[in-house]
Structure 1
Amino acid sequence: MQFVKSTFQQGSATDNELIALYKKSADTQVLAVLYERYMALVFGVCLKYLKDEEESKDAVMQIYESLTDKLLRHEVQNFKSWLHVLTKNFCLMELRKTSKHQTISLDEGFMQFDAELHHENSIEKEIQFSILEKCLELLNEEQKKTVQLFYLEEKCYKEVAAQTGYQIDKVRSYIQNGKRNLKICMEKDSGE
Protein backbone atom coordinates (compact mmCIF):
# COMPACT_ATOMS: atom_id res chain seq x y z
CA MET A 1 0.00 0.00 0.00
CA GLN A 2 3.01 2.27 0.51
CA PHE A 3 3.71 2.09 -3.24
CA VAL A 4 0.12 3.17 -3.94
CA LYS A 5 0.43 6.14 -1.56
CA SER A 6 3.60 7.37 -3.26
CA THR A 7 2.13 6.85 -6.74
CA PHE A 8 -1.06 8.56 -5.53
CA GLN A 9 1.00 11.68 -4.76
CA GLN A 10 2.33 11.59 -8.33
CA GLY A 11 -1.10 10.78 -9.78
CA SER A 12 0.16 7.64 -11.53
CA ALA A 13 -1.79 5.04 -9.53
CA THR A 14 -4.27 2.90 -11.44
CA ASP A 15 -8.01 3.21 -10.87
CA ASN A 16 -8.06 -0.07 -8.94
CA GLU A 17 -5.15 1.02 -6.73
CA LEU A 18 -6.95 4.28 -5.94
CA ILE A 19 -10.19 2.40 -5.19
CA ALA A 20 -8.34 0.06 -2.82
CA LEU A 21 -6.64 3.01 -1.11
CA TYR A 22 -9.95 4.87 -0.80
CA LYS A 23 -11.71 1.81 0.66
CA LYS A 24 -8.93 1.43 3.20
CA SER A 25 -8.60 5.09 4.16
CA ALA A 26 -11.90 6.75 3.12
CA ASP A 27 -9.67 9.69 2.16
CA THR A 28 -11.69 12.00 -0.09
CA GLN A 29 -8.46 13.34 -1.66
CA VAL A 30 -7.91 9.88 -3.13
CA LEU A 31 -11.48 9.81 -4.42
CA ALA A 32 -11.02 13.30 -5.88
CA VAL A 33 -7.95 12.17 -7.87
CA LEU A 34 -9.90 9.18 -9.22
CA TYR A 35 -13.05 11.18 -10.03
CA GLU A 36 -11.12 14.00 -11.69
CA ARG A 37 -9.94 11.53 -14.36
CA TYR A 38 -13.55 11.01 -15.45
CA MET A 39 -15.24 14.35 -14.75
CA ALA A 40 -15.39 15.21 -18.45
CA LEU A 41 -17.05 11.87 -19.16
CA VAL A 42 -19.57 12.40 -16.35
CA PHE A 43 -20.31 15.93 -17.55
CA GLY A 44 -20.75 14.71 -21.13
CA VAL A 45 -23.21 12.00 -20.11
CA CYS A 46 -25.13 14.47 -17.93
CA LEU A 47 -25.28 17.00 -20.77
CA LYS A 48 -26.53 14.32 -23.18
CA TYR A 49 -29.45 13.45 -20.91
CA LEU A 50 -30.21 16.66 -19.04
CA LYS A 51 -29.64 19.02 -22.03
CA ASP A 52 -28.70 21.86 -19.68
CA GLU A 53 -25.17 22.97 -18.83
CA GLU A 54 -25.90 24.26 -15.31
CA GLU A 55 -27.97 21.21 -14.36
CA SER A 56 -25.18 19.03 -15.70
CA LYS A 57 -22.57 20.84 -13.58
CA ASP A 58 -24.77 20.35 -10.51
CA ALA A 59 -25.21 16.69 -11.40
CA VAL A 60 -21.43 16.21 -11.64
CA MET A 61 -21.10 17.45 -8.05
CA GLN A 62 -24.04 15.38 -6.77
CA ILE A 63 -22.64 12.24 -8.37
CA TYR A 64 -19.24 12.90 -6.75
CA GLU A 65 -20.94 13.30 -3.36
CA SER A 66 -22.82 10.02 -3.84
CA LEU A 67 -19.55 8.25 -4.65
CA THR A 68 -18.13 8.83 -1.18
CA ASP A 69 -20.58 6.23 0.14
CA LYS A 70 -21.29 4.08 -2.93
CA LEU A 71 -17.67 3.28 -3.67
CA LEU A 72 -17.22 1.99 -0.13
CA ARG A 73 -20.25 -0.33 -0.47
CA HIS A 74 -19.74 -1.72 -3.99
CA GLU A 75 -17.09 -3.97 -5.48
CA VAL A 76 -15.96 -2.12 -8.59
CA GLN A 77 -13.74 -3.84 -11.14
CA ASN A 78 -13.96 -1.31 -13.98
CA PHE A 79 -14.46 2.15 -12.49
CA LYS A 80 -15.01 3.95 -15.80
CA SER A 81 -17.85 1.64 -16.89
CA TRP A 82 -19.38 1.55 -13.42
CA LEU A 83 -19.27 5.36 -13.19
CA HIS A 84 -20.84 5.68 -16.66
CA VAL A 85 -23.80 3.49 -15.63
CA LEU A 86 -24.12 5.30 -12.30
CA THR A 87 -24.17 8.66 -14.11
CA LYS A 88 -26.71 7.52 -16.68
CA ASN A 89 -29.02 6.16 -13.97
CA PHE A 90 -28.67 9.37 -11.96
CA CYS A 91 -29.65 11.47 -14.99
CA LEU A 92 -32.58 9.23 -15.88
CA MET A 93 -33.92 9.50 -12.35
CA GLU A 94 -33.52 13.29 -12.44
CA LEU A 95 -35.44 13.43 -15.73
CA ARG A 96 -38.10 11.20 -14.27
CA LYS A 97 -38.52 13.50 -11.26
CA THR A 98 -38.89 16.59 -13.44
CA SER A 99 -41.17 14.95 -16.03
CA LYS A 100 -43.74 14.18 -13.32
CA HIS A 101 -44.07 17.88 -12.61
CA GLN A 102 -44.27 19.20 -16.17
CA THR A 103 -47.49 20.32 -17.75
CA ILE A 104 -48.06 20.64 -21.47
CA SER A 105 -49.90 23.65 -22.79
CA LEU A 106 -52.71 22.94 -25.23
CA ASP A 107 -51.72 26.08 -27.14
CA GLU A 108 -48.49 24.48 -28.36
CA GLY A 109 -48.34 23.35 -31.97
CA PHE A 110 -49.36 19.75 -32.60
CA MET A 111 -46.04 18.76 -34.24
CA GLN A 112 -44.03 20.24 -31.39
CA PHE A 113 -46.23 18.46 -28.87
CA ASP A 114 -45.86 15.17 -30.78
CA ALA A 115 -42.06 15.48 -30.91
CA GLU A 116 -41.86 16.23 -27.19
CA LEU A 117 -44.17 13.35 -26.40
CA HIS A 118 -42.03 11.00 -28.52
CA HIS A 119 -38.88 12.21 -26.71
CA GLU A 120 -40.54 11.76 -23.31
CA ASN A 121 -41.68 8.25 -24.27
CA SER A 122 -38.16 7.23 -25.28
CA ILE A 123 -36.79 8.64 -22.01
CA GLU A 124 -39.51 6.80 -20.07
CA LYS A 125 -38.64 3.56 -21.86
CA GLU A 126 -34.97 4.03 -21.04
CA ILE A 127 -35.86 4.69 -17.39
CA GLN A 128 -37.99 1.54 -17.31
CA PHE A 129 -35.16 -0.46 -18.88
CA SER A 130 -32.70 0.85 -16.26
CA ILE A 131 -35.10 -0.11 -13.48
CA LEU A 132 -35.54 -3.55 -15.07
CA GLU A 133 -31.76 -4.07 -15.21
CA LYS A 134 -31.43 -3.06 -11.56
CA CYS A 135 -34.31 -5.30 -10.45
CA LEU A 136 -32.99 -8.23 -12.46
CA GLU A 137 -29.75 -8.03 -10.48
CA LEU A 138 -31.74 -8.34 -7.24
CA LEU A 139 -33.29 -11.71 -8.17
CA ASN A 140 -31.75 -14.88 -6.77
CA GLU A 141 -29.39 -16.68 -9.14
CA GLU A 142 -31.90 -19.30 -10.34
CA GLN A 143 -34.63 -16.75 -11.07
CA LYS A 144 -32.21 -14.36 -12.75
CA LYS A 145 -30.71 -17.04 -14.99
CA THR A 146 -34.06 -18.55 -16.03
CA VAL A 147 -35.78 -15.20 -16.61
CA GLN A 148 -32.88 -13.98 -18.77
CA LEU A 149 -32.90 -17.15 -20.86
CA PHE A 150 -36.68 -17.30 -21.21
CA TYR A 151 -37.52 -13.63 -21.83
CA LEU A 152 -34.35 -12.01 -23.11
CA GLU A 153 -32.93 -14.92 -25.12
CA GLU A 154 -36.42 -16.27 -25.97
CA LYS A 155 -35.63 -19.89 -25.09
CA CYS A 156 -38.43 -22.37 -24.35
CA TYR A 157 -38.76 -24.18 -21.01
CA LYS A 158 -37.03 -27.27 -22.40
CA GLU A 159 -34.05 -25.24 -23.67
CA VAL A 160 -33.77 -23.35 -20.37
CA ALA A 161 -33.83 -26.68 -18.48
CA ALA A 162 -31.16 -28.14 -20.77
CA GLN A 163 -28.91 -25.09 -20.45
CA THR A 164 -29.23 -24.69 -16.68
CA GLY A 165 -29.60 -28.31 -15.60
CA TYR A 166 -32.78 -27.45 -13.65
CA GLN A 167 -35.83 -29.71 -13.92
CA ILE A 168 -38.66 -28.29 -16.10
CA ASP A 169 -41.05 -27.83 -13.15
CA LYS A 170 -38.30 -25.89 -11.33
CA VAL A 171 -37.70 -23.77 -14.46
CA ARG A 172 -41.40 -22.86 -14.60
CA SER A 173 -41.39 -22.03 -10.91
CA TYR A 174 -38.21 -19.90 -11.12
CA ILE A 175 -39.55 -17.99 -14.14
CA GLN A 176 -42.96 -17.42 -12.55
CA ASN A 177 -41.48 -16.28 -9.21
CA GLY A 178 -38.80 -14.22 -10.97
CA LYS A 179 -41.41 -12.47 -13.10
CA ARG A 180 -43.53 -11.71 -10.02
CA ASN A 181 -40.48 -10.40 -8.08
CA LEU A 182 -39.44 -8.24 -11.04
CA LYS A 183 -42.92 -6.74 -11.23
CA ILE A 184 -42.95 -5.97 -7.50
CA CYS A 185 -39.46 -4.43 -7.65
CA MET A 186 -40.25 -2.34 -10.73
CA GLU A 187 -43.51 -1.03 -9.28
CA LYS A 188 -41.68 -0.09 -6.08
CA ASP A 189 -38.88 1.68 -7.99
CA SER A 190 -41.36 3.39 -10.30
CA GLY A 191 -43.21 4.77 -7.31
CA GLU A 192 -46.53 3.31 -8.44
Structure 2
Amino acid sequence: MFFKRFRRQPNRPRPTTDAEFVAAYKATGNLDLLGELYERHIDLVYAVCYKYLRDEDDSKDAVMQLFEQLVTDLRRHEVTNFKSWLHSVARNYCLMHLRSQRVRVGAGMDTDLPDEDRLDQLSIAEWPDDDDALDLERALSRLPDALERLPEPQRICIDLFYLKQKSYADVADLTGYDFKQVKSYLQNGRRNLKLILQK
Protein backbone atom coordinates (compact mmCIF):
# COMPACT_ATOMS: atom_id res chain seq x y z
CA MET A 1 0.00 0.00 0.00
CA PHE A 2 1.45 3.37 -1.00
CA PHE A 3 -0.41 5.49 1.52
CA LYS A 4 -0.48 3.57 4.80
CA ARG A 5 0.53 6.74 6.62
CA PHE A 6 -2.82 8.36 5.86
CA ARG A 7 -5.48 7.86 8.51
CA ARG A 8 -9.04 9.09 8.86
CA GLN A 9 -9.71 11.70 11.50
CA PRO A 10 -11.93 10.43 14.35
CA ASN A 11 -15.51 11.65 14.81
CA ARG A 12 -15.96 12.65 11.18
CA PRO A 13 -18.48 11.07 8.81
CA ARG A 14 -16.61 8.82 6.41
CA PRO A 15 -17.16 9.51 2.70
CA THR A 16 -18.24 6.45 0.76
CA THR A 17 -18.36 7.47 -2.92
CA ASP A 18 -15.64 9.03 -5.05
CA ALA A 19 -17.73 12.19 -5.37
CA GLU A 20 -18.03 12.46 -1.58
CA PHE A 21 -14.28 12.02 -1.16
CA VAL A 22 -13.63 14.71 -3.79
CA ALA A 23 -16.06 17.13 -2.17
CA ALA A 24 -14.67 16.49 1.31
CA TYR A 25 -11.09 16.93 0.17
CA LYS A 26 -11.85 20.14 -1.71
CA ALA A 27 -13.65 21.49 1.36
CA THR A 28 -10.94 20.59 3.88
CA GLY A 29 -7.68 20.01 2.02
CA ASN A 30 -7.25 16.93 4.21
CA LEU A 31 -4.57 14.70 2.68
CA ASP A 32 -5.94 11.71 4.60
CA LEU A 33 -9.06 11.89 2.43
CA LEU A 34 -7.10 12.29 -0.78
CA GLY A 35 -4.82 9.40 0.17
CA GLU A 36 -7.79 7.11 0.83
CA LEU A 37 -9.45 8.12 -2.43
CA TYR A 38 -6.23 7.58 -4.39
CA GLU A 39 -5.77 4.14 -2.81
CA ARG A 40 -9.07 3.09 -4.39
CA HIS A 41 -7.72 3.71 -7.88
CA ILE A 42 -4.01 3.11 -7.47
CA ASP A 43 -4.07 -0.12 -9.48
CA LEU A 44 -5.68 1.76 -12.38
CA VAL A 45 -3.07 4.53 -12.19
CA TYR A 46 -0.21 2.04 -12.15
CA ALA A 47 -1.69 0.14 -15.11
CA VAL A 48 -2.01 3.34 -17.16
CA CYS A 49 1.54 4.39 -16.28
CA TYR A 50 2.96 0.99 -17.13
CA LYS A 51 1.12 0.92 -20.46
CA TYR A 52 2.94 4.06 -21.55
CA LEU A 53 6.23 3.94 -19.67
CA ARG A 54 6.85 0.18 -20.02
CA ASP A 55 9.04 0.17 -16.91
CA GLU A 56 8.06 -0.98 -13.42
CA ASP A 57 10.23 1.49 -11.46
CA ASP A 58 9.33 4.44 -13.69
CA SER A 59 5.65 3.54 -13.32
CA LYS A 60 5.90 3.40 -9.51
CA ASP A 61 7.66 6.78 -9.51
CA ALA A 62 4.92 8.17 -11.73
CA VAL A 63 2.23 6.90 -9.33
CA MET A 64 3.87 8.82 -6.50
CA GLN A 65 4.41 11.95 -8.61
CA LEU A 66 0.79 11.88 -9.72
CA PHE A 67 -0.40 11.83 -6.13
CA GLU A 68 1.65 14.96 -5.43
CA GLN A 69 0.14 16.56 -8.54
CA LEU A 70 -3.40 15.71 -7.39
CA VAL A 71 -2.86 17.60 -4.13
CA THR A 72 -3.21 20.86 -6.07
CA ASP A 73 -4.95 19.79 -9.29
CA LEU A 74 -8.01 18.28 -7.64
CA ARG A 75 -8.71 21.49 -5.77
CA ARG A 76 -8.46 23.57 -8.96
CA HIS A 77 -10.70 21.50 -11.24
CA GLU A 78 -14.37 20.64 -11.26
CA VAL A 79 -14.39 16.84 -11.39
CA THR A 80 -17.65 15.00 -12.00
CA ASN A 81 -16.23 11.54 -12.68
CA PHE A 82 -13.07 11.05 -10.65
CA LYS A 83 -12.06 7.72 -12.17
CA SER A 84 -12.25 8.99 -15.75
CA TRP A 85 -10.57 12.24 -14.83
CA LEU A 86 -7.77 10.41 -13.02
CA HIS A 87 -7.24 8.11 -16.01
CA SER A 88 -6.82 11.17 -18.24
CA VAL A 89 -4.48 12.88 -15.79
CA ALA A 90 -2.30 9.77 -15.54
CA ARG A 91 -2.24 9.32 -19.31
CA ASN A 92 -1.32 12.95 -19.94
CA TYR A 93 1.38 12.83 -17.28
CA CYS A 94 2.97 9.86 -19.03
CA LEU A 95 2.67 11.45 -22.46
CA MET A 96 4.30 14.62 -21.18
CA HIS A 97 7.07 12.56 -19.61
CA LEU A 98 7.65 10.74 -22.89
CA ARG A 99 7.40 13.95 -24.89
CA SER A 100 10.17 15.44 -22.74
CA GLN A 101 12.31 12.57 -24.00
CA ARG A 102 11.02 12.89 -27.57
CA VAL A 103 14.46 13.06 -29.18
CA ARG A 104 15.44 9.77 -27.56
CA VAL A 105 12.06 8.16 -28.23
CA GLY A 106 11.76 9.32 -31.84
CA ALA A 107 15.37 9.07 -33.01
CA GLY A 108 16.19 6.01 -30.95
CA MET A 109 13.16 3.96 -31.94
CA ASP A 110 13.86 0.27 -31.49
CA THR A 111 13.34 -1.39 -34.86
CA ASP A 112 13.62 -4.83 -33.27
CA LEU A 113 10.35 -4.35 -31.40
CA PRO A 114 7.16 -6.02 -32.67
CA ASP A 115 5.11 -3.88 -35.06
CA GLU A 116 2.54 -2.91 -32.45
CA ASP A 117 5.21 -1.66 -30.02
CA ARG A 118 6.96 0.36 -32.72
CA LEU A 119 3.60 1.83 -33.64
CA ASP A 120 2.98 2.67 -29.98
CA GLN A 121 6.29 4.56 -29.92
CA LEU A 122 5.48 6.32 -33.17
CA SER A 123 2.03 7.30 -31.92
CA ILE A 124 3.53 8.80 -28.76
CA ALA A 125 6.28 10.62 -30.67
CA GLU A 126 3.71 12.18 -33.01
CA TRP A 127 1.15 13.13 -30.33
CA PRO A 128 -0.12 16.65 -31.09
CA ASP A 129 1.66 19.33 -29.05
CA ASP A 130 -1.58 21.11 -28.13
CA ASP A 131 -3.42 17.99 -26.95
CA ASP A 132 -3.04 19.01 -23.31
CA ALA A 133 -4.81 22.29 -23.98
CA LEU A 134 -8.12 20.43 -24.06
CA ASP A 135 -10.27 20.84 -20.99
CA LEU A 136 -10.44 17.13 -20.32
CA GLU A 137 -12.90 17.31 -17.47
CA ARG A 138 -15.59 19.01 -19.56
CA ALA A 139 -14.68 17.06 -22.67
CA LEU A 140 -15.20 13.71 -20.96
CA SER A 141 -18.87 14.45 -20.37
CA ARG A 142 -19.31 15.16 -24.11
CA LEU A 143 -17.22 12.23 -25.30
CA PRO A 144 -20.02 9.69 -26.03
CA ASP A 145 -21.85 12.15 -28.31
CA ALA A 146 -18.59 13.21 -29.98
CA LEU A 147 -17.64 9.60 -30.66
CA GLU A 148 -20.96 9.00 -32.40
CA ARG A 149 -20.15 11.82 -34.83
CA LEU A 150 -16.95 10.14 -36.03
CA PRO A 151 -16.86 7.98 -39.18
CA GLU A 152 -17.43 4.37 -38.15
CA PRO A 153 -13.85 3.07 -38.67
CA GLN A 154 -12.41 5.93 -36.60
CA ARG A 155 -15.03 5.50 -33.86
CA ILE A 156 -14.42 1.76 -33.61
CA CYS A 157 -10.63 2.12 -33.46
CA ILE A 158 -10.78 4.95 -30.88
CA ASP A 159 -13.20 2.96 -28.74
CA LEU A 160 -11.11 -0.23 -28.82
CA PHE A 161 -7.68 1.38 -28.39
CA TYR A 162 -8.38 4.13 -25.85
CA LEU A 163 -11.55 3.16 -24.03
CA LYS A 164 -11.15 -0.62 -24.03
CA GLN A 165 -7.34 -0.47 -23.77
CA LYS A 166 -6.70 -2.84 -26.68
CA SER A 167 -3.31 -2.98 -28.41
CA TYR A 168 -2.75 -2.17 -32.08
CA ALA A 169 -2.63 -5.92 -32.77
CA ASP A 170 -5.91 -6.48 -30.91
CA VAL A 171 -7.63 -3.67 -32.83
CA ALA A 172 -6.37 -5.06 -36.13
CA ASP A 173 -7.55 -8.58 -35.23
CA LEU A 174 -10.96 -7.43 -34.04
CA THR A 175 -11.68 -5.10 -36.96
CA GLY A 176 -9.88 -6.76 -39.85
CA TYR A 177 -7.99 -3.52 -40.58
CA ASP A 178 -4.24 -3.72 -41.15
CA PHE A 179 -1.73 -1.88 -38.94
CA LYS A 180 -1.45 1.13 -41.27
CA GLN A 181 -5.22 1.50 -41.40
CA VAL A 182 -5.50 1.26 -37.61
CA LYS A 183 -2.81 3.91 -37.17
CA SER A 184 -4.47 6.19 -39.74
CA TYR A 185 -7.95 5.79 -38.21
CA LEU A 186 -6.58 6.54 -34.73
CA GLN A 187 -4.68 9.64 -35.88
CA ASN A 188 -7.61 11.00 -37.86
CA GLY A 189 -10.06 10.03 -35.13
CA ARG A 190 -8.03 11.88 -32.47
CA ARG A 191 -7.85 14.97 -34.66
CA ASN A 192 -11.57 14.91 -35.45
CA LEU A 193 -12.53 14.27 -31.83
CA LYS A 194 -10.46 17.24 -30.72
CA LEU A 195 -12.13 19.48 -33.29
CA ILE A 196 -15.58 18.31 -32.19
CA LEU A 197 -14.83 18.76 -28.47
CA GLN A 198 -13.27 22.20 -28.96
CA LYS A 199 -16.38 23.57 -30.69
Normalization by structure 1: what TM-score? 0.58
Matched, 1:135 2:143: no
Structure 1 equivalent of residue 23 of structure 2: 20
Aligned mates of 1:60, 1:113 — CA distance in 2 = 26
1:1-192 alignment runs, 5 A limit: 5-8=12-15, 13-101=16-104, 103-104=107-108, 111-112=111-112, 118-125=119-126, 127-128=127-128, 131-132=130-131, 134-137=132-135
The runs of 5 or more residues in structure 1 that have no matched partner are 139-147, 155-181, 183-192
Distance 1:36 1:96 in 2: 28
Which amino acid in structure 1 is aligned with residue 64 of structure 2?
M
Instruction: Determine what percentage of the aligned residue pairs are the same residue.
Output: 40
Q: Which residue of 2 aligns with 1:175?
A: none
Higher helix share: 1
Sort the Cα spacing of 1:23 and 1:113 in 2 relative to 1 into closer, same or farther, 3 A.
closer
After superposition, give the CA deviation of every residue in 1:30-76 in whole Å (9 maximum; x if it has no partner).
Answer: 00000000000000000000000000000000000000000000010
Shift of 1:135: 3.2
Number of residue pairs aligned between Structure 1 and Structure 2: 133
Q: Alpha carbons of 1:19 and 1:124: their partners in 2 closer, same or farther (altered >3 Å)?
A: same
Structure 1 pair 37–114 and aligned structure 2 pair: CA distance change class (3 A): closer
Unaligned runs of 5+ in 2: 1-10, 137-145, 152-194
Question: How far did residue 97 of structure 1 move?
Answer: 1.0
- SS of structure 2 residue aligned to 1:6: coil
The match for 1:190 is: none
Secondary structure of the corresponding residue to residue 96 of structure 2: helix
